[in-house]
Amino acid sequence: MTRLRGLGEMLSGSRKDAVERRAAKLRREAIAWLSLLSSGTATTADAEALKRWCNEDPAHTRAYAEAARAWDMLTPVANRAQLAEGDEFRRPQLVQQRIGRRALLGGAIAASAAGVAYAVVNPPLNLWPSLAELRADVRTGTGEQRRIEISDGVAVDLNTRSSLAWGSLSGGRNRIELIAGEAVVAAGPASVDTCVVTAGMGRVVAHDARVDIRRDGARIGVVCLDGNVRVEHQAQAVMLPTGQRIVYDDLNISGPGTVDPQIVTAWQQGRLVFQKELLSRVVDEVNRYRPGRIILMDRDLGRHLIDASFSLDRLDNVITYIRQAFDARIAILPGGLVLVG
C-alpha cells in the first residue's frame, strides 16, 4: 500500500510539473505576441495569426489575457514620468527599467481575474487588439488603411486600427459590424438592397449613400457624406442628410449637427485636418496613426485651440509643430513614446 501511495504521489508530481511547464510556455508565447503587437511593426497577417493562436485552445486565450493585464502597468508608468531638474525629462532608461521583463512576468502571474478581463476588453494605450477585435473578419494595423468590397455596389474604406465583421441578413441585405475604429461605407445605387451597419447600440441603414462611422468604445459618431442615411438607436430613428453628424452611446443620442465632410474624410487623402481643435484632441487623433504614443504632461498645453493640417506619412511634424508653436519641452523615449511638457 505504501509503495502504491508513493507511486501515486510521483505520478501526481509529474502531472503537476507538466502543467506548470506548459503554463510557463504559454506565458512566454503570450508575452512574445504582445511584444510583437506593441513594436509598431505588426501586420494584419500577425493579427490573424494571433487570432488563430487564441482559437486553438482556451488556455491560449487565458495566457494572452494574463499577459495583457501585466502590460497595463505601462499607463501609470507613463503618467508618473515628471520633469526632472532643469529642462530635461527623466532619462529613458529609468522608464525602461520599470517595465522590464521581470516586472512583466511578475505582473502576469499575479494578475487577478477581474483585472485580466478589464485589460483584455480595454487594452491600455491600444497596444494590442481586444478580444472583441480578434473576432473581426478584417482588422487594420497602425497607420494601415484598406478597401473591402463587401458585395456588388457596397464597399468599405477601413481606417487605421479598425476592425470589421460582415455577413448577410434576411432579404439579401448586407450586414456590417464596426467593432472598433472608423470606416467609410459606400452603398451605391447598384447595390442589391440596403446596407445595415451595426455599431454599438445603434445601426445605420444606407442605400445610394455614403457614410462615415467612427466607434471609440461606446461612443459612436455618424456623418452622412452623400445622400441620406437612417440612424436607429433604441426606440429612436433619425434621418441624416448630407453634411450632418449624429453621436450616440449605449444610452443617449445627440445631434444632428453640421460638419465638413472633407475634413471628416481627409484621412482618405492621406491627411489630418483640424480647425479650432483642442491640442489634446489633436494629439489623441494623431496617436491613432503612429506607433507608440504622444503624451501631454501639461494639461494647460492641451487646452490650446489650433488650426493645422498634417500628412499621414510625416506625422513626426506634429512633434516639431508643438515644440515650435508652444516652446514645449520634448522627450523621445524608446518604443515611440514621446513626452511633451
For residue 165, the model assigns a pLDDT of 87
- 8-state DSSP, 83: B
Higher pLDDT, 153 or 35: 153
Q: Is residue 265 part of a domain?
A: no
Could you say which of 203, 233, 260 is where a domain stops?
260
Same domain for 62 and 110?
A: yes
3, 31, 63, 312, 334 from 292: Cα distances, Å: 59, 18, 24, 15, 9
Could you say which of 99, 134, 169 is where a domain stops?
134
pLDDT for 160-172, tens place per residue?
Answer: 999 998 775 544 4
Which position has the grid cell 455599431? 199
For residue 108, the model assigns a pLDDT of 38
Q: Is residue 40 part of a domain?
A: yes
CATH number of the structural domain spanning residue 201: 2.60.120.1440
Binned at pLDDT 50, 70 and 90, residue 291 comes out as: confident
Cβ(245)–Cβ(257) below 8 Å: yes
Q: Which of 21-25, 37-41, 84-88, 321-325 has the lowest mean pLDDT?
A: 84-88
pLDDT for 256-286, tens place per residue?
Answer: 999 999 999 999 999 999 999 999 999 999 9
**pTM of this prediction exceeds 0.75:** no
Higher pLDDT, 139 or 152: 139
pLDDT for 61-119, tens place per residue?
Answer: 777 777 766 554 444 444 444 333 333 333 333 333 333 333 333 343 333 334 444 44
- How does DSSP assign 124-147, residue by residue? GGG-S--HHHHT-SEE--TT--EE
Structural domain for 299, as ranges: 270-340
